[in-house]
Amino acid sequence: MTHATGRKYLRPGALPHMWCAGCGIGAMLGALLRAFEELGYKPADTVVVTGIGCTGKLDDYLLTNALHTTHGRALAYATGIKAFRPQLHVVAVMGDGDSVNIGGNHFIHACRRNIGVTAIVLNNFNFGMTGGQASATTPEGSFSSTTSYGNPERAFDICALAEVAGANYVARSTPYHGWEMQGLMQRALANRGFSLVEVMSPCPTQFGRRNDMPEGVQSLHWLQQHAVPVERFRELPPAGRAGCFPIGTLLERDAPDFGANYDRVRARAAEARPA
């Protein structure tokens, strides 16, 4: 691996960015742009689609093609782009609120179609931009602006959802594991079919300050302590997995993607037409 910087994809004068001190979005964006450079992506052939939320600002910093969409609809737009121009590299960058809360149905069906889009989901356990409300990924018992006495609901496992819905590649990382995160993004981008990289991220401003982690470094330490490489995680007994989550490549398969299935259907339709 070369020491790529990814700066050629950044708009001149874009930095410093607007995200809060300690937020993981900047580290995630850096890893993604370095992955673009390692794979030789050209800005003109790359489309980054965002929705609403803290990650939605991301497209303002890029020299790639970019599309800023409505809340929860990034994957719907990304699906349309990839279906119409399959030669493009299409990446949808979303938060947990954008992807599996407001856009949960689109997420499920993007996985099911297995269309060649890479989804980067920054999971900071709450709706960070709109006031720190509980989301579908807020850990049970955690505090948010809408769960003052602790969240009574179980959290979504985004990666497990993607796997059972039909994605071809599923991975998870954290900003603490920066170089590993870049490697997972490269594998996701290069994989055929729908790919997901979930980035478990600090949100000191909203989630952290309500859960005894008011500074980003505290959240990073928490992620370090609770993230377990997937090979070791699978060897743990059920009791030993409590409070931990696996990181790394969780699933990699080569199921037929949307393009292959569409080509087969189109060929059948052509054969069925009268001469």
Beta bridge partners of 196: 119, 170
- Over residues 174-189, mean pLDDT: 96
For 228, the enclosing helix (H) or strand (E) is strand 227-229
pLDDT of residue 211: 96
Q: Could you tell me which residues come within 8 angstroms of residue 109 by beta carbon, excluding any fewer than 6 positions away?
A: 165
Secondary structure of residue 173 in the 3-state scheme: strand
Which CATH code for domain 27-272?
3.40.50.970
Task: Give the C-alpha separation, 186 to 203, whole Å.
Answer: 25
- The string of pLDDT tens digits covering residues 42-90 is 999 999 999 999 999 999 999 999 999 999 999 999 999 999 999 999 9
- The string of pLDDT tens digits covering residues 233-270 is 999 999 999 889 999 999 999 998 887 877 777 778 77
Contact yes or no for 47/19 (Cβ under 8 A): no
* Cis before 16? omega within 30: yes
pLDDT of residue 3: 64
Q: Which amino acid is at 181?
A: M
Q: Spell 29-50 as b/e; 16+ CB within 10 A means b.
A: bbbbbbbbbbeebeeeebbbbb
Q: Is residue 210 scored above 90 in pLDDT?
A: yes
* Cis before 238? omega within 30: no
Q: Which amino acid is at 76?
A: A
On average, the pLDDT of the chain sits at 93
State residue 32 phi and psi, 5-degree precision: -65, -45
